[in-house]
């Protein structure tokens, strides 16, 4: 593992300390591997999602958006194969009562002390492996019977396939085109963990790109590269990312080819996003189960076919975690260790902090006026509490790229200093030009210092 990879403990501690992410339901003792996003976490994850939308909806004209229901018709999951096949092999230990994934025993820990791998302790008594469906089941309506069973979606993708026909009609799209959506998905993971990396409730950013069958290979290659480049453009170091093609025995039931964008997390190389060539599996299945014709018909040529699908499927939580890990840095300033998140400015929760040097002499009033003007265009924060050095450190820790300081000179010549989080340079800028200058900086290409 690279020596410049931060530990997960440091990330978890920063996230809790600064209110990015914390364990859910803590006043009741927590509920394993559920997390709540606090103020800065919400802003960060929103920025990640906004950049994803932007790259698909604003920077292209062949992708459209969708926000489908979490609870779909239960036949969806029969057709998709999830009801029969979305399972992990599970074993129970009759002694410690813990549950493990049978295919990941080497990652588990027996419930008895001294802790050992499941099955290796003197009292371990593992059951035979049995298949455990990862979908959460619930019921709709007031009567709980078999006919009312539904599932929380385990992926956002199926909602897209169910709506494919609508998009052919009202969006007047013809392949190649994509439908994208962001939303919560739910999986009853047997072994969740590693902070927000593997949770039971998480957010996905998925796009199904429908193509003429003979173009599937070309578009698969295109989206693999495009999705890799998206992370690099937003500041992840290219040597912390890799594209790994799945071996034949790893492929999902629907896939004829999948590559993962992997990130070098503190826990090692792990999947950040999967790009799959799903062929026409899903449309074939839904056409059969719904008895609807889901073919695309070219009105000019009369050609008809079931499009093939290339699917870039990312996790918003895993992406936010990767951006946090890659941004985390510690350096020395005036003999003190500074923790700094060198986030791409577009992802930073707060773009600029406005800091009057003292709480008197008209400085807070000018600072408030500047905040009022900037907030129209950027996420800004006002802070007048404590020594200026401490206030800079607070902003560094949440990744604020620019700190605006109002001092006595500001009242005389209507200029302020702009301190850069990464270079620590301070530049005097006229108040009138400040918003434009910050917006100019925000639009500039950015890469991590030293890269
Ligand atoms: N529609 C295809 C699909 O769902 P996946 O690889 O199972 O593929 C896509 O999921 C992405 O969703 C993953 O690359 C990961 O980023 C995220 N993801 C999956 N399970 C997750 C979990 N339990 N917790 C957090 N993120 C998860």
For ligand 1, whether the C-beta of 397 sits within 6 Å is no
Distance (Å, whole) CA 337 – CA 360: 30
315 lines ligand 1 (CB under 6 A): yes
pLDDT tens, position by position, 284-300: 999 999 999 999 999 88
Estimate the crossing angle of helix 363-374 against helix 431-443, to 10 degrees: 40
Does any ligand 1 atom lie closer than 6 A to the CB of residue 206? Answer: yes
- Which of 315, 316, 321, 323 maximizes ligand 1 atoms within 8 Å of its Cβ, making it the mutation to test the pocket? 315
If one compares 68 and 171, the residue with the highest pLDDT of the two is 68
* pLDDT higher than threshold 80 for residue 1: no
Whose structure tokens read 């604020």?
Answer: 400
Region for 241 from its dihedrals, namely left if φ exceeds 0, alpha if ψ lies in -120 to 50, beta otherwise: beta
What tokens does 49 get? 């999602």
Q: Is beta strand 304-305 parallel, antiparallel or unpaired with respect to 296-297?
A: antiparallel
Task: Tell me how far apart the alpha carbons of residues 344 and 322 are, in angstroms, rounded to a whole number.
Answer: 12
* DSSP per-residue string spanning 92-141: EBTTT--EEEGGGGGG---SSSSP--TTTSTT--BPPPEEEE-S-EEE-S
Rounded distance between C-alpha atoms, residue 370 and residue 380, angstroms: 10
pLDDT digits (tens, 9 = 90+) for 224-252: 999 999 999 999 999 999 999 999 888 88
Q: Which of 21, 271, 322 to mutate to test the pocket of ligand 1 (most atoms within 8 A of CB)?
A: 271
- Cα(349) to centroid(ligand 1), Å: 24
Candidates 154, 205, 313: which one to mutate for ligand 1, based on the most atoms within 8 Å of Cβ? 313
Pocket flag, ligand 1, residue 318 (CB < 6 Å) = yes
Output the residue whose Cα is nearest ligand 1's atom 18. Answer: 315
Instruction: Give this prediction's pTM.
Output: 0.95
Whether residue 227 contacts residue 314, with contact meaning beta carbons closer than 8 Å, is answered with yes
Q: Which residue has the higher pLDDT, 10 or 5?
A: 10
Residue nearest to atom 16 of ligand 1 (CA): 315
Dist CA 113 CA 14 (whole Å)? 30
Q: Is the C-beta atom of 202 inside 6 A of ligand 1?
A: yes
Instruction: Quote the mean pLDDT of the chain.
Output: 94
Query: Biggest alpha carbon distance in the chain?
Result: 79
Q: Which atom of ligand 1 lies nearest, measured to the CA of 198?
A: 24
Distance 82 CA to ligand 1 centre (A): 14
Number of residues in the chain:
451
Q: Is 168 in the pocket of ligand 1 (CB under 6 A)?
A: no
Instruction: Tell me the pLDDT band of 33, cut-offs 50, 70 and 90.
Output: confident
Which of 274, 316, 322 for mutating ligand 1's site (highest number of atoms within 8 Å of CB)?
274
Q: Residue 313 CA: which ligand 1 atom is closest?
A: 9
Please say if the pLDDT value at position 4 is more than 80.
Answer: no
Residue 170 has pLDDT above 90, yes or no: no
Minimal-distance CA residue to ligand 1 atom 21? 198
Q: How many Å apart are CA 190 and CA 217, to the nearest integer?
A: 35
The answer to whether 112 and 125 are in contact (CB under 8 A) is no
The stretch 317-326 carries a mean pLDDT of 98
pLDDT digits (tens, 9 = 90+) for 112-151: 888 789 988 888 999 999 999 999 999 998 877 777 999 9
């Amino acid at each position: 593992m690279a020596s410049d990879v931060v530990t997960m403990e440091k990330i978890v501690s920063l996230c809790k300390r600064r209110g990015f992410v914390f364990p859910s339901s803590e006043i009741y003792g927590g509920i394993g591997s559920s997390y709540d996003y606090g103020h800065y976490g919400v802003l960060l994850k929103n920025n990640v999602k906004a950049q994803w939308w932007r790259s698909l909806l604003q920077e292209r004209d062949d992708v459209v958006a969708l926000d489908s229901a979490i609870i779909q018709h239960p036949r969806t999951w029969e057709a998709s194969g999830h009801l029969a096949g979305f399972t992990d092999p599970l074993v129970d230990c009759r002694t410690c009562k813990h549950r493990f994934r049978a295919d990941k025993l080497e990652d588990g820990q027996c419930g008895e002390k001294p802790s050992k791998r499941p099955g290796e302790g003197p009292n371990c008594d593992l059951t035979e492996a049995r298949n455990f469906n990862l979908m959460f089941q619930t019921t709709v309506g007031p009567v709980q019977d078999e006919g009312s069973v539904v599932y929380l979606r385990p992926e956002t993708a199926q909602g897209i396939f169910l709506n494919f026909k609508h998009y052919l009609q009202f969006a007047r799209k013809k392949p190649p085109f994509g439908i994208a959506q962001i939303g919560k998905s739910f999986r009853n993971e047997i072994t969740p963990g590693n902070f927000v990396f593997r949770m039971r409730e998480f957010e996905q950013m998925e796009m199904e790109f429908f193509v003429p069958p003979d173009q599937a290979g070309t578009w698969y290659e295109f989206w693999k590269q495009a999705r890799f480049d998206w992370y690099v453009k937003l500041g992840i170091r290219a040597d912390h990312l890799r594209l790994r093609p799945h071996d034949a025995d790893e492929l999902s039931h629907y896939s004829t080819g999948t590559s993962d964008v992997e990130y070098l997390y503190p826990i090692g190389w792990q999947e950040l996003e999967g790009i799959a060539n799903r062929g026409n599996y899903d449309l074939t299945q839904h056409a059969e189960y719904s008895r609807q014709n889901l073919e695309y018909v070219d009105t000019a040529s009369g050609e008809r076919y079931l499009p093939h699908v290339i699917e870039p499927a990312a996790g918003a939580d895993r992406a936010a975690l990767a951006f946090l890990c890659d941004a985390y840095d510690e350096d020395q300033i005036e003999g003190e260790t500074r923790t700094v998140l060198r986030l791409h400015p577009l992802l930073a929760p707060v773009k600029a902090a406005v800091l009057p040097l003292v709480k008197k002499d008209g400085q807070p009033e000018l600072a408030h006026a500047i905040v009022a003007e900037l907030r129209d265009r950027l996420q800004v924060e006002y802070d007048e509490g404590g020594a200026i050095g401490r206030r800079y450190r607070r902003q560094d820790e949440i990744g604020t790229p620019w700190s605006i300081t109002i001092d006595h000179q500001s009242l005389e010549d209507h200029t302020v200093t702009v301190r850069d989080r990464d270079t620590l340079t301070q530049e005097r800028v006229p108040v009138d030009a400040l918003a434009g200058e910050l917006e100019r900086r925000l639009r500039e290409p950015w890469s991590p210092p030293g890269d």
